[in-house]
Chains A and B, each alone.
Chain A
């Protein structure tokens, strides 16, 4: 018998009898479909395939042949990392037995338990993992929409946007202004905008030292703020100005054709403008009916299972899980919990209680790295933060250099963990 949602809903006794026996016994292989081959989806596909030794049929749906990480894309902007080194292909994930389909998922029929692909094909599943990352909230920065992304790049999803932004920064007129429109909470990578400003400042101080950086920020405060501000004052004095909500940072509009930013009614001419709009779960999560009014997909804290459907898990940035920041590290950590649960449900292997953690490193200047991290546990309603740490202001140069080297180690570690 293939278990689907209808039989699931049949009678409680039938369902529990079926469920107490692992699905793999006496039937075709159970099928897991993963939508999105990023930090979360790549990890979950790999871990289920690796740990189940072929007992589970895993399909990964991802349009790109190569995944370019957002992590270290700021270091690429700063000239500390090569663009090619951000790219990872799916060869090793496929070699573990994952069926990798390079296509877009365009819909999910949760009653029939199938995913529709842009090619017109349907893929059916026993368990579905949805890990599409983020999309932008339309109209969140008046004057900007994705059709303007070549004039005012976001560089907040993986790929060519980072190259475009780098090109614009390097070709900015002497003494020009780089403007960043920072996003409201919650958004992917809380220290990401601060790290980006640091890397842009690094490049400009080398090639265009009279240039200015203007941050327009709707938030009162942001992650690692004291560390970034200390670093900017030390390494790039006078270059960075931040306009927070008190001075109109909440009320911003852009005119991409004129390269203007209107802050609380005052027109500023800028030379490069990096617009990072408000964010929500990747579109497919919404199409699948997995999101709520917040735009994110609510999940149960113990295992990232969708609150809308017990056969579906939502991972990484797209999920509304509670206290974990939207980061590659978090997505990878959540994916391992989900892989363990799905494998257990489908093959009868042991299921262990969730363990979640996160650390985010940022580079401020050459050899000046800082980090922030925390442990998380499932609470009753959401994932909770139970302890945290952060680098201190005033740390000595050797420690900062060691922290930077550690971040390189982390990058190599996580991409090996997902794609290696």
Chain B
């Protein structure tokens, strides 16, 4: 991994014993997916530099594309209709379509029996992902990996927050919310009663409260983390 100091990565791991490496799960193995693509797709679809429509449309920038939306390709009416109804190619839709095209679009002209093997399908989709928009260039582009699961439990409100962890997590909040508690376009959150804080965060997490930034932030906070944040902001309010 280190280009110059390969052996020292172990030392790096020792240095940071609590750092979890590789939290996000990749969609699949893109290099293995290249072979799947050759076997399963390449006779009809092109992908990559200079790809053109053949029997099927080219697959560059397939992620986030509306189904049936290349003006210069003749799709089945069924596929175009699904596109009009709001079918966009995202990870879940691509999985479903490649597994069994007719599950998603009855009457599609893609005369493909489907790829049932989940791992090969995931590898294939990871390979195709590389030819679509990249989030570093287009932040709204489809995710490149699968987030780790965050669990909800019944005793949520009873968790005693870890203030030190809360302080670390709070740095994500203070990009927008001011430590001073001041409001300006973004509400202050310093010194809230812990229970109100926890309830509000869970309401964002469950998407009961609407704000997208807050939904996005809370999505990956587990119960302990929310409790830790609540405890830290309560402490900050006392300072």
Contact = CB atoms under 8 A, between A and B. Distances in A.
A332 interface: yes
Given A325-B139, A333-B172, A412 B185 contact: yes
A388 B12 contact: no
B201 to A, nearest CB: 15
Contacts of B220: 355, 375, 377, 386
A380 interface: yes
Interface stretch (B81-89, B113-121, B145-153): B145-153
A407 B175 CA distance: 12
Nearest to A224: B140
A303 interface: yes
Nearest to B220: A375
B76 to A, nearest CB: 26
Interface residues of A, number: 81
Chain A contact residues: helix, strand, loop or mixed: mixed
A91 interface: no
A170 interface: no
B216 interface: yes
A333 B216 CA distance: 15
Chain B contact residues: helix, strand, loop or mixed: loop
B2 to A, nearest CB: 5
Contacts, number: 239
Interface stretch (B49-57, B99-107, B162-170): B162-170
A47 to B, nearest CB: 7
Contacts of A341: 16, 19
Select the residue from B10, B135, B213, B220 with max chain A CB neighbours within 10 A.
B135
B140 A389 contact: yes
B140 A185 contact: no
A221 B61 CA distance: 10
B121 to A, nearest CB: 19
A417 B175 contact: yes
B15 A19 contact: yes
A244 interface: no
Nearest to B18: A351
Given A375-B220, A377-B145, A389-B212, A323 B135 contact: yes
A410 B140 contact: no
B206 interface: no
A375 B219 contact: yes
A76 B121 CA distance: 49
Contacts of A323: 134-136, 144
A413 B147 contact: no
Contacts of A410: 175-176, 185-186
A309 B174 contact: no
B185 A379 contact: no
Nearest to B6: A307
A379 B24 CA distance: 5
A196 interface: no
A326 interface: yes
A350 interface: yes
A310 interface: yes
Nearest to B16: A351
A384 B136 contact: no
B26 A379 contact: yes
Interface string A1-26: 00000001100100110011000000
A380 B138 contact: no
Given A224-B140, A325-B135, 5 more contacts: A357-B175, A389-B140, A389-B212, A409-B186, A412-B178
The 7 closest A-B CB pairs, nearest first, are: A409-B185, A409-B186, A384-B145, A386-B147, A377-B24, A385-B135, A390-B140
